Structure 1
Amino acid sequence: MEKEKKRKFAHAISIRIALPALFTILLFVTATFVIILPSFKENLLEKKREMLREMAEIVYDVIAAYEKMERNGEMSREAAQKQVLQIIADLRYGPANKDYFWINDMNALIVVHPYRPDLRGEAVPDFRYPTGKNLLEEFVRVVKAQGAGYVEYLFQWQDDPNRIVPKLSYVKGFAPWGWVIGTGLYIDDVNVEIGLIAKQLNAIATVILLLNAFLAFYIIRHTVLADRVRRIIWEERERLLTALEESNERFRSLVETTSDWIWEIDPAGAYTYSSPKVRDLLGFAAEEIIGKQLEDLVAVQELDRTSRIFKKLIASRKPFNGFETVCQTRDGRVVVIEKNGVPVFGDDGELLGYRGIARDISERKNAIEALKKSRDELHTSLEETVKSLALAAEKRDPYTAGHQMRVDTLACAIARELGLPEKQIEGLHFAALLHDIGKISLPSEYLAKPARLSAQERAIIKCHTEVGYEILKNIPFPWPVADIVYQHHEHLDGSGYPRGLTDKEILLEAKILTVADVVEAMSSHRPYRPSLGLETAVEEIRSGRGVLYHAESVDACLRLIADKRVDLTAAAW
């Protein structure tokens, strides 16, 4: 009867301990998959929609610039439309550089489609809106009703006409020419991103679930044991010894069945104990490990490095964590093992060896490498997109072809000479490539005029910094690219433009860019004058040092030129 009461008491304690843990797990899973993940998906989709709108607005501005040249009599409508269509047909963006823009007219006929040039002057065949309406007619309806808007439909996957998938597009009307500008994204792309995040959340939730379950089990177990010990104090020695033996057996079972490989080594590094988990990790029985050393399990190419580091760790007589070793299993596979260990000392302070745990982290390492690869691919996509935008600006001013690239080279060299971190230099790099993007809106005859510009024309030219800022300000760069472009014609004494900023109001990157821009511009040819020469450019920044131009940037530039560590004769890309 007493034994049954004790069992019920222990069961009640277990429930009281387990319920909060289970409730915590339930709350976490509910919050993650019912609130956080759907909210994140909605936010991500909203950001994608906003990106589509911004990209369409950029193309709209390009078309508007050419339409303005038509209205000003600078070119015929046919010529203006031909140039615009050529630009749009070649314009790409997105992670695979395959996302594109298209144009149809208000009669629901294709004007240009990069991946379906055969559809020019035709309606899109086969693909129809789920309600039965032709999707081009739907684009026209949205434009007529709202001027611009979003449309969901089915269309081919990028350049694969045999794959039809859901797509979300943003369309905007260009009334002067009766055009509808459109670009879109594939819903599957968003779902893939959400899927990756959900997978990561699943992994985190699983780990937290296991940890909570383990902690709950641990607390329950030790609470029951503590209660049992208090009662055993008044019981005979035989029952105490029996209980201790049972406790040891349970602990041994826990060690033998844990998911981690538990090990012990002597001061020389030879294994004195190994849990059976080693068979799952390396394919060896626990008995085969006894007497071996770590060097016997390591892959040949990693032997020297691993042996040197491990001996140093043991000699330190300190705990270690996260020690990674590349081991070879019995069947020849290569796995990455992470070891954590603590030293074991005798009563006299003598080192008896180490004990610790090890686990296979091969999948985690592969996941990290995949993340790095994804990050590098995104960076490459950003680099190509920025270069495409910069190239679009230079196409408007062929006399300065290569200017932005040479300014980028010199500006980044100055920044490195000043010791700026690479992350900051990367932002300067993109700003340098785009610093004249605003010229895309300027009349071409001003850019190519073989004589000095009038005061009015110079005033218009100066607007390119503000236009560049407006183009770039809503692009979510991780650096202040738009502000750098906005400030690259400002001077320390407030005599620059467009806002007349002074020293402390100007970003360091903009100060560097100003010096690089002046040197490159003066040493290059222009429509209205031949090159003034590098010596004249050097004299200009030297005379303006500390007044117009950032002193440290000027000094760094002069050193680079004197040591011939930069080449300002590089051709355009």
Structure 2
Amino acid sequence: MPEKQLQRISNTISFRIALPAFLTILLFVVAIFYVVLPQLEQSLLNRKQEMIMELTETTWSLIGDYHERELRGELSPDEAKRRAVLRIGKLRYGPEKKDYFWINDMTPRMIMHPYRSDLDGKDISDFRDPKGKRLFVEFVKTVEKQGAGYVDYMWQWKDDSDKIVPKISYVKGYEPWGWIVGTGMYIDDVKAEIAAIRNHLAAVSAGILVIISLLALYSIRQSLLADRERQRIFAERGELLKSLEQSTERFRNLIETTSDWIWEIDRDGRCTYSSPRVENLLGFEPVEILHASLTTFAPPDQAAEAGAAFAKLLAAGKPFTGFEITSLGKDGQVVVLECNAVPIFDERGQLAGYRGVARDITERKTAMEVLKKSRDDLHASLEETVASLASTAEKRDPYTAGHQQRVDRLACAIAREIGYPEDKIEGLHIAALLHDIGKITLPSEYLAKPTRLSSEEKALFKLHPEVGYEILKRIQFPWPVAEIVLQHHEHLDGTGYPQGLKDDEILLEAQILAVADVVEAMSSHRPYRPSLGIDIALDEIRAGQGIRYHAESVDACLNLILEKRYDLSYTMEEGGGGVG
């Protein structure tokens, strides 16, 4: 072929290879910067708005707590408001802990502003931002119209009164006191995050472009080399035929010297060829193997089972891998062989036999047995450790001794009833035994108090899932045990604690555990009350089915107790529990 024509063909091939690659990266960059990034920016802004709304709602609830104390007569109206202002004025959040909350009334008059104390107690109805917006009047209008909402305006940058930037705030009114509480986010923060993402995507895109370019160049080069190689093959075809004959001889030598045993059998399973390696594996000469079955050398107590399994494989006429045969060598040594084979067909397409390889896996099988024993020992150690941790928590609370074990047993029974996988039930079992481990930090007098807890004591008591999470999160369980413990008091409708999670935000194991925990707790005695009885407990989960509690778990629990007569009082010390 003329040199110029070959060059022209090579250039055409190069262009066809390179063009799709560069079009791909171009479409990638356009999609990232003109589709994905704008959506990401809007999504980020929406998340920030949701965040300030949630923070404001939380702060609003703090005001409600003080108002309740006022209504109960614990605090005077002035003292309740003073404490609320003092507490909210100290709240900070954000990366620099400079984001804050403020309070004004419906006049509007400033009640408290952490960074503008000069406005405290003053009429701010005519206070305007640099664009002339009467922002505090807008806050009042928003609350009067809809109770809560977002307002955008210009304001100083955190505690820097010389820097004025755009801001969006979420405000909510507290009607009993005529207050408005709010917090906000700075648009510049969102833009800075988007800029960082844009720069990162630009760097990634540039890297991808370089990689694709190199791959395209590599493909072009390989294509040119392939063209030259084809020319060389045509020129040396006669010589390669001779080399093929030599390669066949080398391949035969390789088969006969390889560390694996190569064999062929007919369709009845009788050996028609054996490589010399069989002598190293079993001690037999290749000629001694001919016309024998591969299962001939199985131990007498295994011969029938091995022969039947091998005959079934041969009858299928399909390739097989991983077939294990335990064989006895010539000197009586036990050898475990792993056989892989492909079928051989004659010119009429009929099965003629199999060609395969057998490998000595005796050491590997021994190692696997040792590994299995080690795993079993480790699992037993884990069970003992978990039991010790659970016992530690219950020894501080004699009134609820056995509670964690009964909850564990009921939760695992519910999980099996709904068809939950056994490997995940084992994780549920561990979490159930430890779900109240966080109570070890509670004062003993709280646990044994014969009367109901106060609001402050209840608030402290409700921290035990978070404490349990902190205790367990550094332990490398193969299941999300710490997260299950953290979420076991969450409800589907968001009324639970400590995070107020909803629906699919709650792990299924935690939803199952919540049902078991409620039923056991209500049907057991407590220091401040006698048992409410199993009927009251079942009425509670029926009333909350699909609202607070996982519907399928509630059905399973009711079926276990009412239909299958499940004994709720039975604990591990009495012979039950666990995942067995």
TM-score above 0.5: yes
Equivalent residue, structure 1, for 2:479: 479
For 1:569, the aligned partner's letter is S
| Alpha-carbon separation, structure 2, partners of 1:452 and 1:405 | 24
The reply to whether residue 338 of structure 1 matches residue 338 of structure 2 is yes
SS in 2 for 1:295: coil
Equivalent residue, structure 2, for 1:273: 273
Equivalent residues in 2 for 1:274-423 (5 A)? 274-423=274-423
| Alpha-carbon separation, structure 2, partners of 1:342 and 1:571 | 55
Q: Give the total of aligned pairs.
A: 341
Q: Displacement, 1:249?
A: 4.9
- The alpha-carbon distance between structure 1 residues 438 and 230, as it changes in their structure 2 partners (threshold 3 A), is same
For 2:336, the aligned partner's letter is V
Equivalent residues in 2 for 1:222-241 (5 A)? 230-231=238-239
TM-score when normalising by structure 2: 0.55
- The alpha-carbon distance between structure 1 residues 397 and 279, as it changes in their structure 2 partners (threshold 3 A), is same
SS in 1 for 2:540: helix
Equivalent residue, structure 2, for 1:28: none
Encode CA deviations 1:212-267: one digit per residue, 9 max, x unaligned: xxxxxxxxxxxxx999983498xxxxxx7xx8886665443322221111111122
Comparing 547-556 with 296-305, greater Cα deviation is found at 296-305
Equivalent residue, structure 1, for 2:436: 436
| Alpha-carbon separation, structure 2, partners of 1:251 and 1:320 | 23
| Alpha-carbon separation, structure 2, partners of 1:479 and 1:251 | 50
| Alpha-carbon separation, structure 1, partners of 2:299 and 2:236 | 49
Comparing 372-381 with 504-513, greater Cα deviation is found at 372-381
- The alpha-carbon distance between structure 1 residues 349 and 491, as it changes in their structure 2 partners (threshold 3 A), is closer
- The alpha-carbon distance between structure 1 residues 339 and 457, as it changes in their structure 2 partners (threshold 3 A), is same
- The alpha-carbon distance between structure 1 residues 493 and 333, as it changes in their structure 2 partners (threshold 3 A), is same
Encode CA deviations 1:366-394: one digit per residue, 9 max, x unaligned: 22222222222222222222221111111
Contact 1:409 1:566 in 2 (8 A): no
Structure 1 residue runs of 5 or longer lacking an equivalent are 1-224, 234-239
Equivalent residue, structure 2, for 1:109: none
For 1:283, the aligned partner's letter is G
Q: Displacement, 1:458?
A: 2.2
Max Rg structure: 2
Contact 1:403 1:572 in 2 (8 A): no
| Alpha-carbon separation, structure 1, partners of 2:572 and 2:313 | 54
| Alpha-carbon separation, structure 2, partners of 1:572 and 1:288 | 60
For 1:398, the aligned partner's letter is P
| Alpha-carbon separation, structure 2, partners of 1:354 and 1:486 | 58
- The alpha-carbon distance between structure 1 residues 356 and 565, as it changes in their structure 2 partners (threshold 3 A), is farther
Contact 1:519 1:538 in 2 (8 A): yes
SS in 2 for 1:264: strand
Encode CA deviations 1:294-322: one digit per residue, 9 max, x unaligned: 23212222223222222122222222222
Contact 1:542 1:554 in 2 (8 A): yes
Equivalent residue, structure 2, for 1:179: none
Contact 1:469 1:482 in 2 (8 A): yes
Structure 2 residue runs of 5 or longer lacking an equivalent are 1-232, 574-580
For 1:230, the aligned partner's letter is G
| Alpha-carbon separation, structure 2, partners of 1:550 and 1:347 | 64
For 2:487, the aligned partner's letter is Q
| Alpha-carbon separation, structure 1, partners of 2:323 and 2:572 | 48
Contact 2:278 2:284 in 1 (8 A): yes
For 2:436, the aligned partner's letter is D
SS in 1 for 2:339: strand
TM-score when normalising by structure 1: 0.56
Q: Displacement, 1:403?
A: 0.5
Contact 2:490 2:501 in 1 (8 A): yes
Q: Displacement, 1:507?
A: 1.8
- The alpha-carbon distance between structure 1 residues 227 and 286, as it changes in their structure 2 partners (threshold 3 A), is farther
SS in 1 for 2:314: helix
The alignment's C-alpha RMSD in Å is 2.5
Encode CA deviations 1:313-352: one digit per residue, 9 max, x unaligned: 2222222222111111122222211112222222222332
Equivalent residues in 2 for 1:47-196 (5 A)? none
Q: Displacement, 1:443?
A: 0.7
Equivalent residues in 2 for 1:459-478 (5 A)? 459-478=459-478
Contact 2:484 2:509 in 1 (8 A): yes
- The alpha-carbon distance between structure 1 residues 466 and 349, as it changes in their structure 2 partners (threshold 3 A), is closer
Query: Where does structure 1 differ by over 6 angstroms across 4 or more consecutive aligned residues?
Result: 225-229, 243-246
Contact 1:266 1:353 in 2 (8 A): yes
SS in 2 for 1:486: helix
SS in 2 for 1:357: strand
SS in 2 for 1:354: strand
- The alpha-carbon distance between structure 1 residues 244 and 482, as it changes in their structure 2 partners (threshold 3 A), is closer
